[in-house]
Structure 1
Amino acid sequence: MTSSRSSSRNSIGGIEGGKAFPISSGMSLSHWLQSVRSSPLLDYRSTQDLPTTADVVIVGSGMSGTFIAYELLRQPNPPSKVVVLEAREFCSGATGRNSGHCKPDQYRGFVKYAKLFGEEQAKKLLDHEFKTWSKLVEFVEKAKVDCDLWVGDTFDVAMSPEVARDVVAAFDAYKAYGEKSAYGGKVDHINYISDPAEAEKVSRLKGALAIWSWKASTLFPWKLVAHIMQLCLDKGLHLQTWTPVSSVTTSGNRMWSVHTPRGVIPAPTVVYATNAYTSALLPSFARYIQPTAHMCDKVVPPRAYAGGHALQNSYAVILPAQLGAYTINPRCSADGIVLFDGWDLGRGKLEKYLDEDPRRLFDDSLNGFPAVTEAINELTSTALAGWSEGENAAGVGPVYAWSGIIGLIADTLPFVGAIPDSPGQWVCAGFHGHGMAHIFSCAPGLVTLMQGGSWAETELPECLQLTPERLGRIERKGLHFQP
C-alpha cells in the first residue's frame, strides 16, 4: 500500500528503522493554546513522582483520552486508579490545534462510504455523526461549559460547475437511498440553494454556485476538554503532563509495562488515544494511520466583516479536486476571529515541503507557511465581497498560523476497539481530521467494550470497529491515504 501523495511517507508512519520519531517539544502554539497560558492544567501533575501502579493507563490527554477517562470514572464500578499520560502540555495535540469546528457530515460522504462499506453502513455513519454532534451540544449546554459554543447553520458551498455536479450527485444518491430503504436517508433538515445568485447572496462568496446548509457547531475545544479533565481530577484521576511514553512492553501475568523517562508504570489495561502518533508506539499501525502536518490560519476580519456585518455561519468551501477545499470558522459568538483550515489552495506546496523530509509529517512547530497564508490572502480578497476594502488596515488579515498533525486513515474512519493479539490494550485513534464529529460517541463506545460489553451495545457503526478483518481488507484493497 502506498500513499496517494508520496511513497516515502507510507514507509515511516511514526517510525524509521524501528526508531520512533520524537514528538517535538518546540511545538507552535495554536490560537487556543495562546489563550490559556495561565491555566495550571498545561503542566499539571497530580503527584510529584510518577505513579508506580495503575489499573488503566491512557496515553494522550486530548478529547479522546480525556473523555475515555471521564466515561470510565463515571461507571458504577470504576477502576480505582486511572492515569493519563501526556507527552507535552495538556491537550496540546490535534484537539488543541484544530479550528474548533464540529460539523456532522449529513450527506456528502454517503457515496464514498457506500463504496467502502455498503449503503447501510454509510447511512449509519451519517446518523452517528449527527448523534455525536447532538451529544456534544447537549453536554456543553447541560453542564454550562464555558467553551464559546455556537450552534447555527453550516454551509457546504460549491465553487465550480464540476463541484456542484459532484455534490448534487452525492446529495441525490443519499436522498434516493432514503426513499428506497427502511433505514431512511432523510434530507428534510438540509436546505439546498441551487440558484447561483441566491447562493452568492447568502454565503457572501463571489462565485458561489450552490449551498447546502444544516445545523453544526463551533467552539473552543481546549476549554471543553479542560472542563472534562477537571471533572476527572475531582474523581481521583492521575494526570501527568510532560511524560512521553517511549514504549509499552509485556511484563507477564496479563500486565503491561508503560515506559517513560520518569519511570515505568505496570498496568493490566492500556488505552492508546494517540491519533496520528499511534504508530510511534504500535509500529504495525504505520500501515493504517498516516500522520501529516496541517496548517490553520488565524485571521482578523476588516470592518466589512466585523460587528453587525460579521460572518454568521461556518463554511466548507469546496473547490475543484485539483485545488482542494477549505473551511471557515468565524467565532461570531466570541472574539470574532476567523479561522481558516482544510485542504486549501496552498496545500500543494505544503505537501512538497513535507515530502522532502518524512520527519516533517510530525512537525507541529510551524508557526506559518507562506504558501498557505498567501492562499488565504487571495481567497479573502477575491472571494469575500468587500473584504479587500479594509484589508490593509493595521492588525487586519492573517496574523498567525500554526501546524497540527492529522491522522489520515486508509479507509477514512477511526479505529475503535481491542488491539488484536494484545489482551488489555485498546485504541481510539486515527480520526482523519474529523475527530470532533466522532469522539463524543467513540469514547463511551470504547469504554463499553473495555467493560465487557458487545459491539452492538456501543451503538456505533460496525465499520468503526478495529478488527483483523478490517485491517486485512485495507491491505488487500491497497487503499491509499487521502484527505
Structure 2
Amino acid sequence: MSEKQTATLVDPTKLVTGVTKPDSSAVLNVDEAIGGGTDTVVSSGQWGFPKAKGQSLSYWLQQVRCDELISHRTTAELPETADTVIIGSGITGTLVAKYHKETWPDKMEGVGKYEKQFGIEQAMKILQNEQDTWEALVAYIREKNVDCDLWVGDTLDVPLDAETAALARDVFERYRAAGGKVDHIKVTTDPAAARRLTRLADARACYAWPASTLQPRKLAAHVMGVNLAAGVNLQTFTPARGVRPYGDADSSTEGTEEKRDAKYRWTVHTDRGTIACVDVVHASNAYLPAYETSLRGLIRPKPHMCNKVIPPLKFAGSGALRNSYGVLLRDGSLFSINPRYGTDGVVMIGGSNPGQLKLDEWVAAQPAEDQRCVDDGLSSVGVAGDSSSEAGAAAARLVTDEVRKFAEAQFDGWRESADRDGLGPGARYEYSWSGIIGVAADGVPFVGEMPGRAGQWVCAGHCGHGMARIFTAAPGLVKLMAASTPE
C-alpha cells in the first residue's frame, strides 16, 4: 500500500464498554466497539484490503465448492457505466441489490449497553429492530422456501456465576420496566433447574426466547440468484480500490459519449478498470476503510474465530444439543454456540469468548505492515515450514484451547464421553477459521448517505452482529436512496 501504516498498542480494557453495577465486578454485554473515551488511541494501521491468497475457508463455504456463483461474472468485461455500483457481495450487498431492483425495476440482551450509549428510548428501538429483522428473515425464508438449513427454536442466555446472573436479572427487569415485551421470554432463576435445562455445569440462570440459526452462504446465494434473474450484473474477484468524483483528472479516461454523460457522479476504480455511476453503495463492511480513508478509525476490521466441533457420542443422536446458546461470563465475554441440529450435528462455537480476547491482543501486538487485522487465513491447521501460517495457527489455537476447555468443563459428560468413546467418529475440535468483522465506533452500524458526498451510501460496521440487522438495514438503505431521488 502507498500509505505508511503505524500500529499503536492500546489498553484492551479501554476499547470496550459494558453493563456493570457499583457493587459488583461482573460485566455484561461488552460492546464490539472501537471507542472507550477520549483517551482511547485507535490504531491507524487497522485497515486493509482482502487477502489475495492464503485465506482459511469457512465451514459454510466448504459446503458449496461447486456453486458457480463463487466465480461468477455476468459479463466478461467490467461495464463502463452503471446507475448504481454496489461494492461488496455479502449478505448486505446482495440484499441491497434485491431491494434496489425491486424499487427501480429497470433482542433483550443488549438493552443495558445500548441504554448506556444512546438512552433508553433508542435502546428499545435498536432491540425492536433486531426482533423485526428476525421475523422478516424467517418469513422470507419460509415464504420463498429457501434451502438454507433454517432452524427455529429457543436460544438460551446462560450466566455462569452468581454476580453475572444478578446482573442479567437486573437488565431483564429494567428492560421490562421500560416497556419491553417479555411474554415470549422464559426465565429460569433456580440454578439447579438451569443446569438441567442447559446441560451446563455452572449455569446459574437461563433466559430462553425464540431465535434461529441458518447457513448464511446458502441464503445469500439464493438472493443473488434472484438478483441475477432480474438483471443484476455480478462481478466477483474485482476489488474496489477507490471512489472518486466523476470527471476528476485522476478519474477521467477515454470512453464513449455515454460514459461522459453528465448524469454520472462517481467513478469506481478497480483492478480490472473503472466504472462510472450515479450512486455507489458501500457494502464491503470491514474492508471499507481500506479505500475510503474518511472512515479509518470509525470502522475497524478484526479477525473473529469460529470453531467447528464434532461432539462426542453423548451429544450426538438423541443426546444432541437442541438449542443455540449465549453463555455469559463475568468479564463481559461470551461463548456463542450454534448446534447444527437437524442437519449434520456439528457444533459451531465462537463469540467474544476468552480465547477471542487473547487473539485480539495478539493481533494488536503484530507489526502493522503484516495487516493481521484483515487476516482471514488464521486457522488451527497451519502449513509446516510456512512461518506466517504456523504463527497464525498458534494464534488460532488461543481460541480453540478455550473452546476445548469450556466444552469439557461445562457440558455435563462431554469429557467422559470423549475419553470413553475415543476420537474415532467422536469428539474432535476439527477446524477453525477467521472471518473479518467490521467494528463500528459506537457498536452499531452506519446506514445512510455519507455526509457531503451525495450519491455515496453506506451499510457497514455490523460488529459481528449483521444477521440480526442486515435484513432490515439493507432495505432501509434503499428506501433512503429512493427518498433522495428527484421525481
TM-score range normalised by the length of the shorter chain: 0.7 to 0.9
Structure 1 CA distance, aligned partners of 2:466 and 2:171? 22
Maintained 8 Å contact 1:414/1:430: yes
Aligned position for 1:98? none
SS in 1 for 2:81: coil
Aligned position for 1:387? 414
Q: 1:247-291 CA deviation, whole Å, 9 max, x = no partner?
A: 111124452111111110010110000111111121121121121
Structure 2 CA distance, aligned partners of 1:4 and 1:423? 38
Shift of 1:441: 0.3
**Alignment of structure 1 residues 115-154 onto 2, 5 Å:** 115-154=116-155
Structure 2 length as normaliser, TM-score? 0.82
SS in 2 for 1:394: coil
Structure 2 CA distance, aligned partners of 1:2 and 1:122? 31
Aligned position for 2:355? 346
Structure 2 CA distance, aligned partners of 1:256 and 1:372? 42
Aligned position for 1:364? 376
Structure 1 CA distance, aligned partners of 2:301 and 2:163? 30
| Structure 2 counterpart of 1:314, from 301, 320, 324 | 324
Q: 1:153-180 CA deviation, whole Å, 9 max, x = no partner?
A: 00000001121111111111111112xx
Maintained 8 Å contact 1:326/1:342: yes
| Structure 1 counterpart of 2:346, from 321, 330, 337 | 337
| Structure 2 counterpart of 1:207, from 172, 180, 202 | 202
SS in 1 for 2:240: coil
Tell me the amino acid that sits aligned with residue 57 of structure 2.
L
| Structure 2 counterpart of 1:225, from 210, 220, 226 | 220
Q: Aligned in 2, Cα 1:3/1:215: closer, same or farther, shift over 3 Å? A: farther
**Aligned residues with identical type, % of pairs:** 45
Q: 1:227-259 CA deviation, whole Å, 9 max, x = no partner?
A: 000000000110001101111111244521111
Matched, 1:272 2:303: no
Structure 1 CA distance, aligned partners of 2:439 and 2:170? 25
Q: Aligned in 2, Cα 1:209/1:385: closer, same or farther, shift over 3 Å? A: same
Maintained 8 Å contact 2:9/2:364: no
Maintained 8 Å contact 2:49/2:287: no
Tell me the amino acid that sits aligned with residue 342 of structure 1.
G
Maintained 8 Å contact 1:314/1:329: yes
Tell me the amino acid that sits aligned with residue 374 of structure 1.
D
Say how many residue pairs are matched.
Answer: 415
Maintained 8 Å contact 1:110/1:170: yes
Q: Which runs of no fewer than 5 residues in structure 1 stay unpaired?
A: 15-19, 81-104, 179-184, 455-483
Tell me the amino acid that sits aligned with residue 44 of structure 2.
S
| Structure 1 counterpart of 2:66, from 27, 38, 41 | 38
Matched, 1:397 2:428: yes
Q: Which runs of no fewer than 5 residues in structure 2 stay unpaired?
A: 1-7, 16-39, 248-261, 381-395
Shift of 1:214: 0.3
Maintained 8 Å contact 1:24/1:363: no
| Structure 2 counterpart of 1:29, from 57, 63, 70 | 57
Tell me the amino acid that sits aligned with residue 454 of structure 2.
P
Q: Aligned in 2, Cα 1:191/1:411: closer, same or farther, shift over 3 Å? A: same
Tell me the amino acid that sits aligned with residue 450 of structure 1.
M
| Structure 1 counterpart of 2:78, from 36, 50, 65 | 50
Tell me the amino acid that sits aligned with residue 120 of structure 1.
E
Q: 1:307-356 CA deviation, whole Å, 9 max, x = no partner?
A: 1110000000001116x211110000211010001111212431232012
Maintained 8 Å contact 2:84/2:277: yes
Q: 1:125-178 CA deviation, whole Å, 9 max, x = no partner?
A: 111100100000000000000000000000000001121111111111111112
Q: 1:52-104 CA deviation, whole Å, 9 max, x = no partner?
A: 111110000000000000001112x33x4xxxxxxxxxxxxxxxxxxxxxxxx
Q: Aligned in 2, Cα 1:356/1:421: closer, same or farther, shift over 3 Å? A: same
Aligned position for 2:169? 168
Maintained 8 Å contact 1:9/1:355: no
Larger mean CA deviation between 350-359 and 123-132 belongs to: 350-359
Aligned position for 1:468? none
Maintained 8 Å contact 2:93/2:283: yes
Maintained 8 Å contact 2:158/2:325: yes
Tell me the amino acid that sits aligned with residue 319 of structure 2.
H
Maintained 8 Å contact 2:79/2:275: yes
Structure 2 CA distance, aligned partners of 1:175 and 1:374? 38
SS in 2 for 1:446: helix
Structure 2 CA distance, aligned partners of 1:246 and 1:453? 26
Structure 1 CA distance, aligned partners of 2:57 and 2:51? 15
Structure 1 CA distance, aligned partners of 2:9 and 2:135? 36
Structure 1 CA distance, aligned partners of 2:480 and 2:11? 34
Structure 2 CA distance, aligned partners of 1:301 and 1:271? 42
Structure 1 CA distance, aligned partners of 2:176 and 2:399? 36
| Structure 1 counterpart of 2:245, from 241, 250, 255 | 250
Shift of 1:374: 1.1
Maintained 8 Å contact 2:445/2:459: yes
SS in 1 for 2:75: coil
Matched, 1:11 2:11: no
| Structure 2 counterpart of 1:74, from 102, 109, 116 | 102
Shift of 1:394: 2.1
Shift of 1:9: 5.1
Matched, 1:188 2:188: no
Structure 1 CA distance, aligned partners of 2:476 and 2:46? 26
Maintained 8 Å contact 2:156/2:326: yes
Structure 2 CA distance, aligned partners of 1:3 and 1:310? 42
Maintained 8 Å contact 1:13/1:280: no
Maintained 8 Å contact 2:73/2:236: yes
Tell me which structure has the larger Cα radius of gyration: 2
